[in-house]
Every structure is written in structure tokens, then in C-alpha cells.
Structure 1
């Protein structure tokens, strides 16, 4: 037994003496007693990836898919729930996935069958130092180590140092794997279902997180999608083992969570200060726009049919700050905000995107699935920017203030769709010139309340060529008119 003890010294950090002796006995029984204790002990060394003459304990950074049988010591970073499966021969197998690391890197470990016991009974858990002896294979994201019944997956007395490299959001590029990032939850979407190419049903949900360097969208797939129901806006979270890719629609890098990804509440608060723009700073084609403003106008919700036959909804608000005003379109489930706010209230528009309206030739904001509207605590002052009548060009929206110098007739008419409407007109002048204003719908009744010489303010009227190819303003649904 002295020779057996001497051989065991080579693997004492990988396996207990009792387990080692048990493996020697298993070898002897498998060989029908044709080898002695020393020979069987050396065969067990080989099973454990240890040379009979020299211990070969490696660091994780040196492991590749061709390393074969290897042994190493590591710290458990993440353990995923074990699962059972049916083999071709009808027997039931078990497997668990473990992420482990040392001072040189991290690696995925697949633990099979009886070796799963140490996880299920709580002996090995996150933070444990472990001895591992197994064989390497090519995995989806690099080399993996597989530990079967002849391998080692046991606690180690050795202290392993491992610090997870945490990425800043602005460091995340396309095609990265094994990402760990800290961020504050800025927006939470809803769980949506979709049909995969194979006909199966999938689930996905999205959230947006931010840190001092920026923001990024996080897509959570299948079981991970339910995390949106467990988190709240404002939570600081730690995301581990994620991967990144470019969204084909937005052309922005996003994080995706798969089966092996982990999201947990961070140990400390993540600092994030949203950058807010002024209306005058918003240009066409911007994403991730944050804007504070006071509500100037609220529309009704209307439905429409998309190209794929599905039904969508849209509503609009107009908000303004001390530099101007802008129209904001709220899409689908975001139209609920129209009922939550009223004229004159201050709001924060979060994570919107800007597009040019081809009809009005004005830049507008859009709040889609990634956007949000919340009550603002800021004191926002809006000063209407008034245009000189002489500066008006066709094809844009304008706001003017001037004296009424002519009042036209009021008449009712029937639209092409058979509905009834109203129209009238007035002529308005300021110090720079004068212009005809056509008043449509409810605005037409203004002629019953206004008199020559009164001052009116007309906001968001659209300019176009009218009679005699002269430019005139058209006051429609978006227009606001006040008698001063």
C-alpha cells in the first residue's frame, strides 16, 4: 500500500484517497485481476490525465479543443440547472453545465451522470474551488471540457483567483462572446412569441441598459424572456455570458442572452445619467434620443394595416421646450401614454428615434418598442417661435401671429368618402406681409368668433400653393388657433 500512497501523491489535489482506491479496485475488477495494485493505480493516473512520472496540471488559457485529457484547478463561476435526457439504449442520463475560471481565463465544463451528484447535493456551488480532470472537445464558442464517470469533478483546497472582466457598454463590439457587463435598466419590453423556421414557438423580450459610457439593447430569448417580469426600471443588473451582434434593422450592436447567460441584481448601484437634447438639436436619422418638453397637443389613436396584414396603432403628441417644438409619434402599445398625460404637462421622451416627415418636411420623433414616456420633474418653459409671413415657403409647417384683415365665407361640403365637413378662410397680416389661411373642419367656425382687427396666433399650419399660385396656409388637424 506504500506504493499506492506514493502514486496517489500525484493526484491528491484532484481526488480523495478513498475515491482513488475505489477507482483502482474498479480497474482491477475490469481487468479480471490481471494487474496488480501499482499497475492499476498508474492506469487510474492516465484516466485522470496525469502522467505516471509527472503531474500535468494546466492553466485554462492553454486549453484548446485538441488538448485531449487534461487536469486543472478552477473556481466555479456559474452553474446551470442539471437536466435529464434519454439515451438511444433507453437509459436516462444527466448533464450539467458549469462555467469555471482561473487567473488566465474561463471555460465551459459539461459534467455527466454520476458527477452531477456533487452539484445536486450542494457540495459544489458557485464560488467553489474545484479539481477537474476530463477531455476536451470543440464547443459552439470555443473549447469545452467534458467530465464523465472516469473523470474528476471535486472540491479543491487550493485557492483560485479569478476576476470576471467587466465590459463597459462602449467597449462592446459586434461578434463578441462571453460578455459580462453592468448596467442600469432603462426600459423593459413585453414578452413576444414568434414562429421559428422549424415551426416551433419562440419567445423574446427586450430591455435597455445604460452605464456612464452609453446605452445598449438586450434581447432575451425563450426562458430568459421572462426576466422582464422579474426586473424593474432603475434596477442595477449584472449580465454574464452574453454575446453581441448587429441588429439588421437599426445597424446598432446589441447584447443577446442565451441558455447559458445569467442576469442578476448587481451588488452595487450602476451610475447612469441620461443625456437630453433640446428640440433644436434633433436632426434626421438619430437614435436613442432623450428629450424633455411640455405637451402642446394630443391626437386621437388611429389604427392601420401593415404590409404583412397585421394591425397597428399610432397616436401623436406635440411637445416643446425653449428652443422649439416637435411632433412625437407613439406606436402600438406606446399609445397608452396618450391617456396618461394631458395638455401642459411636462414629459421625458426616452430612447426615441428621429425621421423626416416627407409630407411636412419636418423632423419628427418616434417612440417604438424600445422607447418610453415618463412624467418629467424638470421645469420646462415653451416659447412659441413665430415665423414672419414674408419668410413662408411652400411645403412646410409654420406658426404665425397677426391681425385679421379679411374674413371669408363659411361653408359645408361633402368629402369624397361621403362624410360632411366645413371650411372657411381668413386673411392675416404682420409687419412683414399678409397671407390667406384656409380653416378646415372645426377651425372653420373661427370666422363666427373673430372680427377684423383682432390678433390671432396660428400654430402648425401647412403652407402650399393656393389660388393664383400664391402661397397660403392650411389649418388642419395638427393646427392650433388662439385669439389673442
Structure 2
């Protein structure tokens, strides 16, 4: 074995050891044994033994992933990377810190998870691993998880190296990706492509560990026009393209199919899912808008929202950080360069640009967006209306399937064309709670759905607002 390859093999297994330190150890070993007894390569064998590495062992043949079984030791596989999960930190029972990084690897038959523990958890960053890379994993071991699925575990003796040679026997990510319209069965760890058909949105939730997190919702369609609901849990916005618009063509790597509430097929992903634009990323340009409403400190996270309109009467929802809240006033005109654009949702974060300008009559005001109740349909549109409350507010706590209690409120609205129920869940229930019968109100930024009784109803969103006339 070439001495440089021997050095590389040791450094791959001892990631905290530098090349210079290893060379110094070789020199010290030669001096300790005595001049004339060892070559550099001979000294390296002894240094490797001191480090618990056996260099003379012949390389093992790689197993196919389908042949890996629970309890297997000295596992060696050749595969490609599908997903790389963020680093997680835990506390062991003895109080020490444990680090964990999870990979999903694949060959032509099987997908498996690989768990990298402690020092090995830093390896993906050190090697610059990315989806599609071919890797060789040696001296690992396999266990069955709580769900019975096989997982490869990498410990202190495990070596992971990038295979730079051509590996035609394992398809690359592009060859693995299928048009979403071809999906018919329940599958895990798949790569699909499609076109965004409904404005993407990100909302907050509390995960099973009680930590605040975010989830991305959207719909994508295949070339045959068939649409699929997409839900990406625990999303990191830094891993989402800055502009994700309707009709964007995207690739999702590492999602699974699931049956939805009505038996349709959905795509679900998580923090390891990769989302890529197929077409070139657009630049975010200056957007002039009129502010229609502002909602401050909504919900437990006290988020702030605004609704805005452009000259063409396109409605935008703005999610903004605290520094921008006082800048935006109802009916003012602003020019902004958002941090991110998800369909019709604009994010104003610390890197956004906002400038309030003089009034411009070419922008429509809120009254031009208002509609009559008879024209409201259960679509993905935002509605604006003026109406009268026809009942007192009904407020109650409702028990959900998971045992939690959530606040619910409803009230009946009417105008000169029809009547319709307005409902609010969780934090939006408080918008309805203080309304009384016979009040004239403007309701801005609500969505229409088909209720459990089959009738269309209006539902408040965190960015909605109710204005007493």
C-alpha cells in the first residue's frame, strides 16, 4: 500500500488528527526505535497500531444494502448519498454530550439510514458530502431500530471516503428522480420532480419534543396535471430557495408518500429533505406595494403580519421581523426587497430592504378588493368583505384527537346578498370573541373552506384582520 494512501486512510478514521501531527508521530516513532531500523512506512504501521488501526488488513468486499442485517459487524458498503440531516446534540444519562448526524444512502435496490456518532458526526462537513456523492463505508455495524428497520451505525473505527471514480452501477440523483405524476404506491426515500401549483406557505408548530418548529405546505403537479399535497416538517428556511413561486419547477429529494385524510396521496418530508429548483434561480427585485392591514404580536410567538396589494391587484401576505413593524402603516406605499418570496408570501427579515414612499393613487385601496358574500367560493384566494354580525359570538374549547384543547369561535355574517359563518381557531378565535350582534365590520384576508356541514365558511388566518366600521 502506498504510504500516502496509508496516511489518508488513517486521517479518514481519525478526523481530529492532522496530517502534520501524523507525520510528527512517524518521526518520533523512528527516533524511539532507533536510526536504521524503520522506513517511514514501517513506522506508520506501528503508529497505526498505537491508534487502534490495522493497516495490513485486506479490504473487504462491499455488501449490497439489501444484504445488510441486524447484528452485522465489519459492514462495508458502496452507495450514494441521498440526504444529510442536520447535526443533533443530546445529553447522555451520565451528563456527557452525544452528537448525532444521520445520512440516507442508496444503491439500486435499497435505501438505508446511517447514524454517525460523536466525532464521526462532523465528517459530512469535513468531507463536503452532498446528495449524489458515491461513498464507501467500512468497519460499520448494523442494528434494528425501534421500528424494526435496519440502520448502519458508524463508530470510532468506521471509515467513510468519497469515491471519486465513476460508479455507473449506482444511479445518480437525476436518474433516480421521477415525475411526481408517476407515483402510485406508498414509498419511502424517493426523489420526485414537479411544478408548484399552489402558493407555498410556512407556518409554525410545536414538535413532539415541545420545541418550536416550522412546516412548509404547497402543492405540486406532474406533467400529466395530477396534483399532490406536499408537507415538509421541521423545515429550515435556509435550505429553501429564496424565490419559490407558482409554476416553479422543483425537485424534492428524500420524501415519502402517505395517504391523506381523504385517501389521496401526499408527499411528506422533513429537515433532511432537499429542495432544488430545476430552472435558474431568479433575483429578488424591488416590489412596490400598498399596505392594507397590519397585525402585531399574533399568537404565542407574537408574530407580526401585513396584507399588501400591488398595482395589478395581486394580494401579498407579509411576515415581518420586529424592526419593520413600526415602519408599515395602513394605506401607506412601500418599496421593499424581501428576504424570501414563497408564492404570495413575503418574508421581511434582517436582510430585507424597506422604504416608505409618498402615496400613489395608481395602487388600489382596500375598498376596491372587497367582494359580496354570494361571490365567495372555497378556493385558495384571500377574501375582503364588509358585513354585519347577525349573531353573538360563540366561543368554546374543543378537544382534539391528540388530547389537546384548542379555542374555537364562530359568528354569522351577512350582507345584502347572502349570509356566511366566520370561524377562528386558536389565536384567531380572540378576533371573534369580542364581537356582538349588529356590528358593521370589515374582514380582511380570510379564506373560504367547505365546512363539516357542507356549507362554505370563512376562516380567519393569523394575518387576517377585523376592523369595526
Q: State TM-score, norm by structure 2.
A: 0.50
Q: State TM-score, norm by structure 1.
A: 0.49
Compare CA radii of gyration and give the structure with the larger one: 1
